[in-house]
Structure 1
Amino acid sequence: SGHQTNQGGCGHSEIEDDLRIVLLGKTGVGKSATGNTILGRVAFKAETCQESVTKECRRESSDINGRHVTVIDTPGLFDTELSNEEIQREISNCISMILPGPHVFIIVLNLGQRFTQEEATTVKIIQETFGEHSLVFTIVLFTRGDYLKDKTLDQCLGKPGSSLMNFIEACGNRCHVFNNNNQTGDRTQVSDLLEKIDNMMEREKQ
């Protein structure tokens, strides 16, 4: 183990061939739409209302830029009356679908919505389920990129020290924005996300 399959110095390693992404977040934040944007097709049924469409984990894959990407859409865990233990069990069930790791956790938040206490506990739940180290594989992704208009993400996130900013900091200050209205057209936002994920994983291997 520990070997790398570097071909002719083009920088490709084994982690780049197969990527497993777990989407976490409340119903209604655009989690399923985010999965569809990443995969470039309508793989997951969109959540149009607070009634959670995703009752159990769904797994879909696509080949993106020559690599195999699997996306797991988890149930709307944070909008139910589930205890943390039940949420952990549900996430563990999801993960068993895509062993072995590493897995990238994408916490989906809606740029226009208030950040809630339930969402704030996501970090703790990920750590308790997968260990302290798991947060190094976590990215916060904001949907509703159209909401930014001509502002930057930083201008929209509010003041340092707020619960949202503390949350982002706990996730290594890794953020990304999607506009899910453009799921199949412009693929730059997806390429940028995959590049962020690769950089994150490369750093961890060093």
Structure 2
Amino acid sequence: TESFSAMDSDERRIVLVGKTGVGKSAAGNTILGREAFESELSPSCLTSECHKAKGNVDGRKVAVNDTPGLFDTNFTQEEVLNRIKMCISLSAPGPHAFLVVLQLGRFTQEEKDTVQMIQTTFGEDGAKYTMVLFTHGDQLKKQTIENFISESPDLIAIIRKCGNRYHVFNNEIKDPKQISQLLDKIDKMTVVNGGGYYTNAMFMKAEAAIEKEKERLLKEMEAQKQRELDKLRAKYGGRATREKCKVQMRYHYEARARAEKSNDFTSAPVGDRCSILFSLIFWGFCLAVDQQWTCTFNSKFLINSN
């Protein structure tokens, strides 16, 4: 086993991500060995913001960040992703591990979309710091996790995207070994990553790659967009402002979605919803200058760049 002695005094920074109701908060409590987060078992206690808690676990300093659940119907996906991205700031100078929390026995399209969204958000560099954490391991009964995974091609693909790294928590037992084994796996992953962690610069790199492809696609679609705008002018004349803004916004969203899908790292098929979820928020401001209307769009990075 590779030594982690060079970082023994350092804090392990962990970010928990996943859909609502899979047990992220409970997993955080299990890792820290105390009730640091309100459990998701109660509908009134669902995580809506990023929360951070620290502890000393198995002789190691650990900081855990619990994030809002993806597909939470109380928030738009843009709001949820905004909060998750802000967790990088809470994990300053950067997390050593993204634990994608999945519940055994509930593997649906949303679970597949969850992993896809996390990897799209944090880019190819993010994959180096990602591990799947299965909760409710008691449901395996006498079956091994390896056999369980081998029976699902979709699950195999997800595990492969996460560098074949995974761990299982049994919610029915209070075995400290399952915590120390998880931390050992995180330590090993950190050693492979040269003792480093996921940085804001890596996030900006992932975002820049998608934006560059988006701009290329916008140029490619310019002629088609112009034809639509010409038709609107002919039909509505000076009253076409709102419709023209809608067309402009639609092309920006479409280009963004296509840019994400064309990314080599995120090219696995997922629901059409997933490509829209990661679109940045665009605001259309329609201005009239000498009876000539233009639409100006401002995009905002949903992350604290400090």
Is TM more than 0.5 here? yes
TM band (smaller chain):
0.7 to 0.9
Q: Which residue of 2 aligns with 1:130?
A: 122
Higher radius of gyration, 1 or 2? 2
Task: Determine whether 1:204 maps to 2:197.
Answer: no
Please, which runs of 5 or more residues in structure 1 have no aligned partner? Answer: 1-9
Secondary structure, in 3 states, of the residue corresponding to 1:78?
coil
* Number of residue pairs the alignment of both structures matches: 193
Secondary structure, in 3 states, of the residue corresponding to 2:172?
coil
Letter in 2 for 1:96: S
Secondary structure, in 3 states, of the residue corresponding to 2:188?
helix
Secondary structure, in 3 states, of the residue corresponding to 1:36?
helix
Structure 2 residue aligned with 1:169, among 160, 165, 179? 160
Hey, what's the Cα distance between the residues in 1 that align with 2:76 and 2:46?
A: 20
CA 46–34 in structure 1, closer or farther in 2 if over 3 Å, else same? same
Q: Which residue of 2 aligns with 1:4?
A: none
Letter in 2 for 1:175: Y
Q: Which residue of 2 aligns with 1:71?
A: 64
User: What displacement does 1:187 show?
Assistant: 0.5
Give the structure-2-normalised TM-score. Answer: 0.58
Q: Which residue of 2 aligns with 1:7?
A: none
Deviations 1:114-168 (A, max 9, x none): x2223223333333333311111111011111111111102222435x2222111
Secondary structure, in 3 states, of the residue corresponding to 1:179?
coil
Give the structure-1-normalised TM-score. Answer: 0.83
User: What displacement does 1:50 show?
Assistant: 5.3
Question: In the TM superposition, what are the counterparts of 1:53-72 in structure 2 within 5 Å?
Answer: 53-72=46-65
- What is the percentage of aligned positions where both structures have the same residue? 50
Is the 2:68–2:80 contact (alpha carbons within 8 Å) kept by the matching residues of 1?
Answer: no
User: What displacement does 1:105 show?
Assistant: 0.5
Q: Which residue of 2 aligns with 1:143?
A: 135
Secondary structure, in 3 states, of the residue corresponding to 1:13?
helix
Greater percentage in helix: 2
Secondary structure, in 3 states, of the residue corresponding to 2:14?
strand
User: What displacement does 1:63 show?
Assistant: 0.8
CA 205–74 in structure 1, closer or farther in 2 if over 3 Å, else same? same
CA RMSD for the aligned pairs? 2.2
User: What displacement does 1:192 show?
Assistant: 0.3
Is the 1:111–1:143 contact (alpha carbons within 8 Å) kept by the matching residues of 2?
Answer: yes
Is the 2:70–2:114 contact (alpha carbons within 8 Å) kept by the matching residues of 1?
Answer: no
CA 132–16 in structure 1, closer or farther in 2 if over 3 Å, else same? farther
CA 16–197 in structure 1, closer or farther in 2 if over 3 Å, else same? farther
User: What displacement does 1:176 show?
Assistant: 0.6
Task: Determine whether 1:92 maps to 2:85.
Answer: yes
Task: Determine whether 1:22 maps to 2:15.
Answer: yes
Deviations 1:3-54 (A, max 9, x none): xxxxxxx751137621111111122211111111100111111112556611
